[in-house]
Amino acid sequence: MKGHFGVILTAGILAGSMQMSADEAISITVRPAVTSYRGSAQLKVLVSRDAKNRVLVWEVDGPNYYRSSSIALDGASSPRSYFFMVKDLPAGEFDVRATI
């Protein structure tokens, strides 16, 4: 019998959140870092304001589950924070990525 006790989301190598320094263009926070089977998680993506930033792509990748989306950015005029909800996560570990 397979256990369906929880879902672990990882942002890059670290679970939970990654801090953004002045030199970084992007950071991801996942809340909660661990959720129940068929649970939901919120992704908070912080993007530096830069004229070169035109598209934000985020991905949640794991066993038997993949979700991604993209949003157009308006360079230096774009908001800094973006929030996304992922729902009905199956059991397993997931990589969470965001790129600009």
Full-model pTM: 0.74
Mean pLDDT of 53-81: 95
**CB-CB contact of 8 with 14 (8 Å):** no
The least confident of 9-13, 27-31, 74-78, 92-96 is: 9-13
Mean pLDDT of 58-86: 95
In the predicted structure, residue 68 carries a pLDDT above the cut 60: yes
Mean pLDDT of 20-45: 83
